[in-house]
Amino acid sequence: MTTYWAEQAWVDGVVEPGVVLEVEPESHAEPESRAEPEPQAAPGTEAAPGTAAARGLLAAVRTGAAAPPPGATVLRGLTLPGLANAHSHAFHRALRGTVQVGSGTFWTWREVMYGVADRLTPDTYYDLARAVYAEMALAGITCVGEFHYVHHAPGGARYDDPNAMGHALIAGAAAAGIRLTLLDTAYLAAGFGKPPGRHQVRFSDGDADAWAARAAALPADGRTTRVGAAVHSVRAVPAGQLATVAAWAADRGAPLHVHLSEQPAENEACAAAHGVTPARLLADHGVLGRRTTAVHATHLTGGDTALLGRSGTGVCMCPTTERDLADGIGPAKAVEGAGSPLSLGSDSHAVIDLFEEARAMELNERLRTRRRGHWTAHHLLRAATEGGYAALGWDAPARLERGGLADFTTVALDSVRTAGAMPRLGAETAVFAATAADVRHTVVGGRHVVRDGVHALVEDVPGALAAAIGALHG
């Protein structure tokens, strides 16, 4: 048993002083081996205490401990459940800075992005993913959903291992010490009725049946890995093949994600091709539902919002990317009010900071409505933690409670950004003042991955990022 003592911790929506967290840690394969994760207990069964599947959960959470128990690891600051980054494109991290030169639109940004994608190999992708996921751990992110569509070699040739790129991402997350839901993405067309272009051919499996066959060969879910599915967008998967992707996910009880209405041009093209909105097209082909998460959902009609809500489809907001790409402000309050649970993602990694994503959602709504207080800090933290875990297919509670995942992060309350606030307002301080730079500790499955702001597995994260990105730009 491993014991942590949190100076302050967010438990049941309340900041409690002196909280003991007892964990039976998971065992971990050496990252260098790139070993495939062990399978978990079958859905609906309970793992026996002490088994690999049972470890990594919180065995006990006790409040009111004025001092650390003997041998406990002390966590100074506010300890929160681990942050879940529900939408990531790891290779976009190589664009940071580069795409801030000059002006343009989403569509001109996309051409620069394709240039980076063209230079990825399984080895360079592993190096980049390891570094990017380590950056996430330093930011308090304990679980990431990777929307993965760079499947094949440039020109579309298949690697000897058809899932070499997916395996590189899985290994990168293991080496960085965080959980991963690999959302293997169907990306089959350049637009409605258009075959893949020169850049997109390495994304495509040809058709949805071939995509499904390749995705089925990915490793089974493990202790720190899940495999899900994604429809890149309605413009990238022909309507007649959407049901194949949806059925693949449904048969496995896996999460299914989709970029939805990120740009008005997508809505216009869908209306021209099919006479309906993208949301209606997805609903007609069985894509929407409680295991599905729509990413962005920026430009919805009222009918679209109702469709998402009635079906229980979640919505992942990515405010820092949406503003960086000039996409617009998404209707987060409206979709949540209609019944869609919310999660958050850093998407293109203009920044990697889930506190910024959480407060941006509220601040964007303030700008749109010229009124304050659409969500409480506690509500925003739930979107950044358990909302993301649920969207990524993790069934164990992402909360500081007995039986919950032993994934948590500690935010300093004595930095220049957070000092001076009353401890009982720690949640408000974290959401509306803290940044990723204030994260002091990150624990995943009971394993202390970041200690006092230093990554335990990746010795020099900035150096690893510079080397991996330099290899792509060099």
Query: Taken in order 231, 237, 241, 243, is the CA torsion positive or negative?
Result: positive
HEC string of 36-58 equals CCCECCCCCCCCCCCCCCCCCEE
Q: Report the alpha-carbon distance of residue 419 to residue 425 in Å, rounded.
A: 12
Please name the amino acid found at residue 371.
Answer: R
pLDDT in tens, 382-407: 999 999 999 999 999 999 999 999 99
pLDDT band at 221 (very low <50, low <70, confident <90, very high): confident
Task: Please give the sequence-ordered ranges of beta strands (E in DSSP) within 284-356, or none if there are none.
Answer: 292-296, 314-317, 342-344
| Torsional sign, CA 210, 205, 254, 444 | positive
Instruction: Give the pLDDT score at 26.
Output: 59
CA proximity to 148, closest of 110, 112, 122, 174? 122
Q: Residue 41 above 60 pLDDT?
A: no
Q: Is the pLDDT of residue 36 over 50?
A: no
Residues 6+ apart with CB under 8 A from 466: none
Q: Cα angle at 137 between 16 and 393, to 5 degrees?
A: 80
User: What's the confidence (pLDDT) of residue 107?
Assistant: 65
Angstrom distance (rounded) from CA 379 to CA 110: 33
Would you state the structure tokens that stand for residue 24, as one six-digit string?
A: 């039976």
Strand partners, 223: none
Predicted confidence (pLDDT) at residue 21 exceeds the cutoff of 90:
yes
In this predicted structure, the answer to whether residue 70 has a pLDDT above a threshold of 90 is: yes
Give bridge partners of residue 184 from the DSSP assignment.
148, 229
| Average pLDDT over all residues of the chain | 92
Is the whole-model pTM more than 0.85?
yes
Can you give the pLDDT at residue 40? Answer: 32
Helix, strand, or coil here: 447? strand
Q: What digits encode the pLDDT tens for the residues 227-277? A: 999 999 999 999 999 999 999 999 999 999 999 999 999 999 999 999 999
> Which amino acids are annotated catalytic?
296, 347
